[in-house]
Structure 1
Amino acid sequence: MSGIVLSASVRQNLLSLQSTADLLSTTQNRLATGKKVNTALDNPTNFFTAAGLDSRAGDINNLLDGIGNGVQVLQAANTGITSLQKLVDTAKSIANQALQIPVGYDSKSTITTPINPGATADNLLGTPDPANATFLGTPANSKLTVATPITGATILSGGANTDSIGTSFAVNDTITVNGKSLTFRASGAAGPNEINITDDVSTLLAKIDALSGGTPASSIGATGAITLNTGVTEDLDIQSSNTSALASLGLGTSVKQKRAEGPTALGGPPSLTLTIAATNSSSIPTNITFGKAAGQVSTLAQLNAALAPNNLQAVIDPKGFITITTSNDAASSKIGAIGGTAAAPGELFSGLTATDPVQNFASQTSRANLIAQYNNIIDQITTTSQDASFNGINLLGGDQLKLVFNETGKSTLNIQGTTLTPAGLGLGKLSSGSDFLDNTSANTTLSSLNVASSILRSQASALGSNLSIVQIRQEFAKNLINVLQTGSSNLTLADTNEEAANSQALSTRQSIAVSALALANQSQQSVLKLLQ
């Protein structure tokens, strides 16, 4: 074959045909693969740049599964919070039922005391009430030779060495008691204004009490000292025509004893104060000053306004008694300790002890049933919180979710869960006999449930914010993958329209080259024919 010599025209046509074949092969390869850069030999820069873009796109695509799982974890937590909120709302309805059923007590804690004379709902202050005052005589002895203290049996008139008073009363002697005369007779005394000289001391004291209205009854002590009482209707004034005989009773030449003042008027002077310790944990202690000055209490309405923060209320009945009792909010509680100057000895509120509340069995049974329902809700909150997991991660159980958003691991999001068990929400089971007893205990439970709702809303907001972030990053990752893959394609993909046109052109060129080669061969054959 080395001896074969091709003409220059044939060789030129062969080279042209080979070049066309190479170009056609390249075009057909591009059309078959869709790429204009298939190997590093085609375009090293574009090939390795595209490879890097494709590698990064692949790495980010691998992260999409983790991001998708993260979205589902957040969705599971959000579903759990929605269910927990519904359970809390159900618990609120149970607590509200406790507020709507009748109060669980037949009678509530109460204190009652009479008010000052003249006091009304519009004027509680009243006036001082007179009280009994006591007059105590001096010890006195009888006429017995061996002196002994006089007694109730001692005679009012008698001789020496007799159990009679030291100086005898005589017939027609008088004793004037509060302006009413008591006359001594020899015998046959009749009515309240006469007495026999032979009567004893106890008879005389009874006559004096009858004329004076003294209460309690007069008495005589072991030393012979007589005690007289004024009562509350008038002062005690005793005079006698026989001052010596009166003195021998240990009463001096006369008796003048004013009545004592009873409880001080609430408005004073000085103005009295009343304190009542807190009725229960939600109450505010009462501190009242009676009077008509600014900030003081003088009417029933003002008194009730002052008592309300302590869950107390007051009424005045037609008999003149004021009664303070607990409100429905504190029906299970006992009124706190009474103090202040209005509770000092001898005053209106002195020595008062509040009664204990008396439970109503039917109402308390209903409340116990509500407690059982409430506790069942608490159990469901526990199990719902435990079940709100996805792929082993429970954000409502305090787990942490970590998401990676880029191939280097530097773009991350850590989502810390919260323990939303009943304890985490500040809730607990109720106990029959100590909870839902009255409105205050029901309102206390409602307050705890409102706090739990706030916690759930806060966590739902946080989860919603994190879910939005994750979904945005998920969408961003998908779009970034598309950008990277598009960039890679722009560097390596062939233009099929261009390559198809090139293929047609090269096919035509190949056909022409073949024809040209045939023509060149024919010229050589013509030379051979001349040699023949």
Structure 2
Amino acid sequence: MSSGITLTAATRQNLLSLQGTADLLTQTQNRLSTGKKVNSALDDPTSFFTSQALSGRSGDLGSLLNGISNGVQTIQAANQGITSIQKLVDSAKSTANQALADKSATTSGTPATAAVLTAGVGYQGSTTAASDGTQNFASVDGSGTDIGSTFTIFDGTNTSTITLNANTLGGLTSNLSKVSADTVVTAINNQIANSATPAAVTASKTTDGRIVFTSTDTGSDAGITLTNTAGTVDIGFSDFATVATAQTATGSDAKNGATAATAEGAAVAGLATGGTGPDFTGADDASFTIKLGDGPAKKIELNTAADATLGAIDDAKATDLATAINKQLNADTGFKGKVTAVGDDTTGKVTFTSTATGSDQKITIDASSAATNTDIGFGAGATAKPVVASGAGSASGTNATRTSLAKQFNTLLDQITQQAKDSSYNGINLLYRSGTDAKENSLKVTFNETGSSNLNIEGAKLDSDGLGLTSITGGFQSDDEINKALTAITAATSQLRAQSSTFGSNLSVVQNRQDFSKNLINILDTGAANLTNADLNEEAANSQALSTRQSIGISALSLANTAQQGILQLLR
């Protein structure tokens, strides 16, 4: 609706121009006050919504930066914990080495002795009886009907049965009618080694032809029991008969230190070089049983039926027997690596030695009591009895210095566990968990707003148990205990280094993503600002120009009104 007021064209034009200038000035002043050229979707829909999207993503990434930062600090806390734990492990290693270097207990004490069974001199023929030490192998011909020698060795745990005949000695000598002590020892050791449960005993031969069985363990509880069965050939531990009585040998205790149990057979002339050993090409049989500790007995069969390699030996020596015995002992998981037979062709002796030390090893050797059995130094027949050899272990003379160092070692292990427990950050501990589930102390670091980019960091169990470090219970009194601790420490050090390397790689990844996220946020914010922010310099210039234009417009409007006032004056 018209106001009814008539304006001249000039006045109306000046008024419209002045109104436009005022609108522009208002817009410019609004941009100057807000700093933005786009304040709503009405100003520029595309720029407004694009800017909002960029700002929203920037905000999401900004909120993730806190989690990334916590991840960095958690890994750094774990890495610092590993550094501290490594120092404690190094201290424990130093303590163990110090204990190992302290020999005051063992040097002042009485050394332990290994149980040794030594056979009497002799190698009995098929029909000729003789006392221990007087037998010889000259009349034994394996190509005939002689059965050989059979006995058992018991070390307190395992038993090995030894059979000496053409079967078990055949592959050890070229002449079964002249089997040397060395051949017999080899056969015995082979059979001990190949037993299902090898006795911790080794057979050897002395310079005078006696076969010796030695336990590989030491102490009063480590021994050898040898029981013959009746046989045709006596290898030094007894003569023929139908009943065998076990022979037992026990080592002496020591105040400090430890030795292996050894069962030594009697010297058998036929088992020595130049003698006429068992003829295993025939029916000679020198089998026996061997037992380690309280374990089951193992039969060592020294005959052609059990060991085809003996079938080619008609003059077996101590080394031939040892080879055959060891073959059978090594085939037995209970005896393998625990007992070794050694033959000495010079003396005609077979010796059994336990390969381990300690006070719980015992070797028991039972020779055959059969009248047709061949004696290889451990007896056969009526006087045959089990031969028992016991090693010796530490009985007294505790080293106070080592005891003190063991306590220090255990204290360090406690500190390692405590250090692992204290290496947490913001409730997350990458070095300790109470159970075995890796999820218990894992860390997930998210890198983008959708959660599709992340890093799962698995923690570890690096307390003393997790590192495989166990408390010392023996007071570091034996070198074996110390060496086991040092081996565990070496493994723990490798584990710590590997875990430190893993955490280092994880930290590098997280820090890299942290820097990337910060830079990306800056890029997003800059992009959003470029779409909406006003150029204040430009807007200030615009404001100044519009103010000038407004002043001119007001003046022009005033001039137009003045012309109308002149006409009014004429009308008056």
The TM-score normalised by the length of structure 1 is 0.58
Q: CA deviation at 1:405?
A: 2.4
Match of 2:112 among 108, 114, 122: 108
Q: CA deviation at 1:265?
A: 5.3
Matched, 1:417 2:459: yes
SS of the equivalent of 2:456 reads strand
Range that drifts further, 465-474 or 480-489: 465-474
The TM-score normalised by the length of structure 2 is 0.54
User: What does residue 299 of structure 2 align with?
Assistant: none
Match of 2:563 among 520, 523, 527: 523
| Contact persistence 1:109–1:325 (CA under 8 A) | no
Q: CA deviation at 1:87?
A: 1.8
| Contact persistence 2:120–2:134 (CA under 8 A) | no
SS of the equivalent of 1:402 reads strand
Matched, 1:344 2:378: yes
Mapping of residues 422-441 of structure 1, within 5 Å: 422-432=464-474, 436-441=476-481
SS of the equivalent of 1:107 reads coil
Matched, 1:370 2:405: yes
Match of 2:428 among 373, 393, 400: 393
Alignment partners' CA distance in 1, 2:357 and 2:101: 15
User: What does residue 255 of structure 2 align with?
Assistant: none
Q: Sort the Cα spacing of 1:109 and 1:515 in 2 relative to 1 into closer, same or farther, 3 A.
A: farther
Alignment partners' CA distance in 1, 2:553 and 2:118: 136
Mapping of residues 244-393 of structure 1, within 5 Å: 262-264=268-270, 266-267=272-273, 330=357, 344-345=378-379, 351=387, 353-359=389-395, 361-363=397-399, 365-393=400-428
| Contact persistence 2:467–2:495 (CA under 8 A) | yes
Matched, 1:492 2:532: yes
User: What does residue 72 of structure 1 align with?
Assistant: 73
Mapping of residues 110-129 of structure 1, within 5 Å: 110=114
Aligned length in residues: 375
Matched, 1:444 2:480: no
SS of the equivalent of 1:353 reads strand
Q: CA deviation at 1:77?
A: 2.0
Gaps spanning 5+ residues in structure 2: where?
122-132, 138-265, 281-285, 294-315, 324-336, 343-348, 368-374, 381-385, 434-439
**Counterpart amino acid of 2:510?**
V
Alignment partners' CA distance in 1, 2:54 and 2:479: 69
Alignment partners' CA distance in 2, 1:311 and 1:497: 98
Q: CA deviation at 1:449?
A: 1.8
Q: CA deviation at 1:9?
A: 0.9
Q: Sort the Cα spacing of 1:261 and 1:455 in 2 relative to 1 into closer, same or farther, 3 A.
A: closer
User: What does residue 238 of structure 1 align with?
Assistant: none
**Counterpart amino acid of 1:460?**
S
Q: Sort the Cα spacing of 1:440 and 1:266 in 2 relative to 1 into closer, same or farther, 3 A.
A: farther
| Contact persistence 1:64–1:477 (CA under 8 A) | yes
**Counterpart amino acid of 2:447?**
F
| Contact persistence 2:14–2:557 (CA under 8 A) | yes
**Counterpart amino acid of 1:376?**
T
Alignment partners' CA distance in 2, 1:391 and 1:5: 80
Q: Sort the Cα spacing of 1:495 and 1:322 in 2 relative to 1 into closer, same or farther, 3 A.
A: same
Match of 1:461 among 501, 514, 524: 501
**Counterpart amino acid of 2:67?**
G
User: What does residue 406 of structure 1 align with?
Assistant: 448
Deviations 1:327-380 (A, max 9, x none): 9x957776866899975339xxx95734523445153x3222222111111211
User: What does residue 19 of structure 1 align with?
Assistant: 20
| Contact persistence 1:422–1:428 (CA under 8 A) | yes
| Contact persistence 1:61–1:481 (CA under 8 A) | yes
Q: Sort the Cα spacing of 1:42 and 1:469 in 2 relative to 1 into closer, same or farther, 3 A.
A: same
| Contact persistence 1:77–1:389 (CA under 8 A) | yes
Deviations 1:28-74 (A, max 9, x none): 22122111001111111111211122122122212222222222222
Mapping of residues 222-261 of structure 1, within 5 Å: none
Deviations 1:268-314 (A, max 9, x none): 867999x99999xxxxxxxxx98999x99xxxxxxxxxxxx9899x9
Deviations 1:475-514 (A, max 9, x none): 2222222121111101101112221222222222222222
| Contact persistence 1:130–1:261 (CA under 8 A) | no
**Counterpart amino acid of 1:7?**
T
**Counterpart amino acid of 2:406?**
I
Q: Sort the Cα spacing of 1:261 and 1:441 in 2 relative to 1 into closer, same or farther, 3 A.
A: closer
User: What does residue 508 of structure 1 align with?
Assistant: 548
Alignment partners' CA distance in 2, 1:3 and 1:449: 107
| Contact persistence 2:117–2:389 (CA under 8 A) | no
- Tell me which structure has the larger Cα radius of gyration: 1
Q: Sort the Cα spacing of 1:115 and 1:97 in 2 relative to 1 into closer, same or farther, 3 A.
A: farther
Alignment partners' CA distance in 2, 1:261 and 1:115: 6
Q: CA deviation at 1:266?
A: 4.8
Q: Sort the Cα spacing of 1:31 and 1:59 in 2 relative to 1 into closer, same or farther, 3 A.
A: same
SS of the equivalent of 2:38 reads coil
**Counterpart amino acid of 1:490?**
N
SS of the equivalent of 1:369 reads helix
Instruction: Give the fraction of aligned pairs with identical amino acids, expressed as a percent.
Output: 47
